[in-house]
A and B are shown apart, each in its own frame.
Chain A
Amino acid sequence: MIMPSLILSVAVRSLLPLLLLFSVFLLIRGHNEPGGGFVGGLVAAAAFALYAIAEGIAKVRQALRVDPRTLIGAGLVVALGSGLLSLLQGRPFMTGLWYQQPVPVLGKVGTPVLFDLGVYLVVVGIILTIILNLAEE
């Protein structure tokens, strides 16, 4: 449906990894600085949308390796699971648990970060589900 453009496709080839990296960066720093799972997910979805415009839907599906619907489910499971971890420790559902030692690169690690990852996956999954299915004939 979309005319292939050489310039766009060359640009996207280097932009896609950068945007994805940026989205993960947003996800991780979200707890202390502007960012978070929702924005991170939006950026990642936008990156794939751009890729879809440049290279077509089939390439995106190939690059994703999983159906975006699977990402939705996985995201929900991760988010729910992060809340359940505290139950195992005998504390109320969704109590934030933190690993005391900061991990290099990631910073402090705890269940809220995992929860945010769940949000991220759900957002990516939803937007890609809609965009890919709309674009496919």
Chain B
Amino acid sequence: MPPHLDQAPPAGSLAGQSQRTLWQHPATGWLLAILPAGALIYLLSLTGRVAAGESVILSLNWVPSLAVSFSFLLDGLSLLFAVLITGIGALILIYAGGYLAGHTLLGRFYFYLLLFMAAMLGVVLADNLITLFVFWELTSLSSYLLIGFDHHREEARKAALQALLVTGGGGLALLAGLLLLGNIGGSFELSELLQRGDLVRGHTLYLPLLLLVLAGAFAKSAQVPFHFWLPNAMAAPAPVSAYLHSATMVKAGVYLLARLSPILGGTEAWHYLVTLAGAATMLIGALLAFPQTDLKKILAYTTVSTLGGLTLLLGLNTTLAAKAAMVFLIVHCFYKGALFMIAGAVDHETATRDLRELSGLRRFMPLTTLAATLAALSMAGLPPMLGFISKELLYEAKLEAPRAAFWITSAGVLANVLLVAIAARLLLRPFFGRQTAMPQTPHEAPVTLWLGPVTLAILGLIIGLAPDTTAQYFIVGAVSAVRAEATEVKLALWHGINPVLALSVLTVASGLLLYSFRRLLQRATQPLSGLARLGPQQWYEWLLRGLNGLAQWQTRLLQSGYLRSYLLMIILTTIGLTGYALVSRAALPPLPSLPVAQSYEWLITAIMLAAAIAVVRAGSRLAAVAALGVIGFSIALLFVLYGAPDLAMTQFAIETLSVIIFVLVLYKLPRFAKFSRPGARLRDALVALAAGGMMTLLVLAVTAAPLCSRLTGFFAENSLPAANGRNIVNVILVDFRGLDTLGEITVLAVAAVGVYALLKLRLVKDKEG
């Protein structure tokens, strides 16, 4: 059953329903598409300037003291990606409106999709490494929400979690790598780092830095051995697959490699790591794609293969390879985006995505068939599609690879032969085969569903016929950015008769031959997919199970559910850690001779001691609370005596309120009784004495050392001129350390929500009982 039919959301409230009709209106997708379309038009208006070699930098202060700024850079490379993201994004929004029409949570889906779009734009436009990282992780988070959109299906939840853990985990490695890069390069701005490649490559920490960055990029772009999450992510609705898993998110890793190649590239380590990972991914993806029968799974594995191909090209690090990579990137976005949308439309119309059940769709869905034909031709690399140009460039770049050109070219040919055969499988029988019964008799998909694929497929044709315009406006700028030098690019459909063309002919012929022997081959490759089950997917599951086991074990160990155990644990830990530090780091202070104190100080101390004893010995809760109050007010008195009016005032107010709250709580408690046995009471007394003794030692140790804080002087001097206030305490709270206070009140607010929930929970239980 297709994912959109088995929704069984609980009936919404009235408010939910009114919202539902608004979001479910067919025009909403079209309206929302105006957002990315507007951004696209704006970006296109900048192409002239960017193609001329200009870059647009926009910078906002964020945390200037840490060299983190909210800055953006638009050069040829970011422009190419941004245009693809917004352009395809607009089509996807329209498509999603049709694909999920009538879905209760369509509004939420639009929101996630727009969130993702913004995050992705942030990644490709960011100039500051930290800004880039924030957007990078935001793409992981929003894709988590999108992949798990059908959250009542376990498969979708698992796939979403897997994608999040793999790409998010890679993101953490990336963060470490980016911090290293910023520190070594002396700047977090890409625009500055791009000129300091030699400095970075010559540094002793270059290799760890490279490995960390590559881990992030490879995880995101599903390179071996991280490739397994991408096919699983096909649990997402078709618009997500089309957008995230072909056109955008998975390309973020490729973008990062392209972006950083002038800084990190050109070394042996880069060459071997990137090229090998790319080649392995390219071949494994193509081989695994071949035996699949689910349309989306096939497309997913070929996407993995393509991502490998792109990575391989970036590893070669030649201008020719960069050119081929950029063209290949555009082609892939076009045909794979189109094919994914077509897969969704076919699924929508026939209620199946299984290649064995689909046949002869041409009669029912002519427009979709047109789009599918053009896209498959592009995928197979046949003229006059852009895919042909791209494949020629690929071969050209691989033939002139600086190392192991023969092996790289052979791998490329093998992968492409498989792609041709797969394209034939996708196209020939499902669309042009003879008619058979399908689970549901199809009609042509509505305009929302065919508009996207047809547009993308025709664009692939038009650009294939007139490639040079695209080259001048988009590819020149992108290649120049990847190579960090001005380059020229010429694209043409016809190159004359040369080795590259011969390879092309060989590829197509072998591909078609492979297609005609597909049944034989599928049986031969079947064991392969069994082998794949022993791969990284399995390691991931072991790891996840281990992690869950660990969590359960420590939960059983620590979380007894008794407040007294928690208190005991917290106090003992504090005594242990602080006591250890006190003994090992600081010499124990000499016991001071009894300080000379005023008589009223003695009096207050005596009152506090008496009250403390009264708390412990009290026979009723009310008496204990009152005695505690005495201690609190006495401390407030001490604050007054030692010249801390702010603290005293706060202490008075807090004491008053806590007595009120205590009384309110007491009112609800059962009759006072002594629960603990003498043994437990003795233990508690020992723990309490240890805690008190340690605090005393700590205070003595602190006061024994002369207090010379630079901070006091700083705050005293700067409070009035810098923050306009004479009350240092308040100035620190609301100005110098205002962010801390903001955090604290947020924590307080969250705690209050927790208390509120606890109280309400109890009340509801009371009512039921």
A118–chain B nearest beta-carbon distance, Å: 7
Interface residues, chain B, with chain A CB atoms under 8 Å away = 60-64, 645-646, 649-650, 653-654, 656-657, 660-661, 664-665, 667-668, 723-727, 729-731, 733-735, 738-739, 741-742, 745-746, 748-749, 751-753, 755-756, 759-760
Q: Identify which of A5-13, A58-66, A127-135 touches chain B.
A: A127-135
Known: A1-B667, A115-B734. A33 touches B748 (CB 8 A): no
Quick one: CB contact mask for A35-51 with B, threshold 8 Å, 1 for yes? 11111001101100100
* B63 contacts A108, C-beta separation under 8 Å: no
Cα–Cα distance between A123 and B650 once the two chains are bound (Å): 12
Known: A83-B738, A130-B755. A35 touches B727 (CB 8 A): yes
Quick one: CB contact mask for A111-122 with B, threshold 8 Å, 1 for yes? 011011011001
A110–chain B nearest beta-carbon distance, Å: 6
Jot down 12 A-B pairs with beta carbons below 8 A, ordered by A. A26-B649, A32-B726, A36-B729, A38-B733, A69-B753, A73-B749, A90-B61, A94-B738, A118-B745, A126-B752, A129-B752, A134-B661
Cα–Cα distance between A69 and B754 once the two chains are bound (Å): 12
Q: Can you add 14 more A-B contacts, CB < 8 Å, to A35-B646, A36-B734, A38-B650?
A: A36-B727, A36-B730, A36-B733, A39-B650, A46-B653, A69-B753, A79-B741, A115-B741, A122-B749, A125-B752, A129-B755, A130-B661, A130-B755, A133-B759
Q: Which residues of A contact B727 (CB under 8 A)?
A: 30-36
B95–chain A nearest beta-carbon distance, Å: 36
Cα–Cα distance between A37 and B318 once the two chains are bound (Å): 62
Interface size class of A (residues with CB under 8 A): 35 or more
Known: A31-B734, A115-B738, A126-B748. A91 touches B661 (CB 8 A): no
Q: Which residues of B contact A122 (CB under 8 A)?
A: 745, 748-749
A87–chain B nearest beta-carbon distance, Å: 8
How many CB-defined contacts (below 8 Å) exist between A and B? 144
With both beta carbons as reference points, the residue of chain B lying nearest to A109 in the complex is identified as B724
* B724 contacts A108, C-beta separation under 8 Å: yes
A56 at the interface (CB under 8 A from B): no
* A32 contacts B742, C-beta separation under 8 Å: no
* A83 contacts B734, C-beta separation under 8 Å: no
Known: A49-B657, A93-B62. A39 touches B649 (CB 8 A): yes
* A36 contacts B646, C-beta separation under 8 Å: yes
* A76 contacts B649, C-beta separation under 8 Å: no
Q: Which residues of A contact B646 (CB under 8 A)?
A: 34-36, 39
Q: Which residues of B contact A33 (CB under 8 A)?
A: 726-727
Q: Which residues of A contact B741 (CB under 8 A)?
A: 79, 115, 119
Known: A36-B734, A115-B738, A133-B760. A127 touches B723 (CB 8 A): no
Q: Which residues of B contact A123 (CB under 8 A)?
A: 745, 748
Q: Which residues of A contact B667 (CB under 8 A)?
A: 1
* B742 contacts A83, C-beta separation under 8 Å: yes
* A72 contacts B752, C-beta separation under 8 Å: yes
